[in-house]
Amino acid sequence: SFTTEYGTLKTKVKAPKAGKAGKGEEEPKADYCVLTTSDKNFIKEFAFDIKENFKSLFIKHTFVIESLVVPDEYKNDLEKARMNARRKGKIIRNLTIDDKQDVKEMNFEA
């Protein structure tokens, strides 16, 4: 872990392994890397859709790829089609703001 003027970053020594299910309905604990900051610019960048003030924030993104969009010029070349295909789907943004749960979904193509 280390500290700068932007905040404190703490990481665990070992890289994370695949999450094991928690007790009951609990999800695996995602605490391999934790950042504590009060830098307003950093907060604006990652908490862009949160309007109220908060003390603690946990964000988990789930990407759901629903289709691949292959440009017409690459349809007959499998290697280039794979490399240039755009993923289309949605991002499920699970937010825990001061122990309150919120879920937001956004469509994307990248």
pLDDT at residue 36 in the model: 86
Average predicted confidence (pLDDT) for the chain: 87
**Distance from C-alpha of 22 to C-alpha of 38, rounded to nearest angstrom:** 30
Bridging pattern class, strands 2-4 and 33-36: unpaired
**Distance from C-alpha of 110 to C-alpha of 85, rounded to nearest angstrom:** 9
pLDDT at residue 21 in the model: 59
Whole-model pTM: value is 0.69
For 55-66, the pLDDT digits (tens) are: 888 888 899 999
The strand order across the sheet containing 2-4 reads 2-4, 7-11, 33-36
Q: What residues does each domain of the chain span? A: 1-46, 50-110
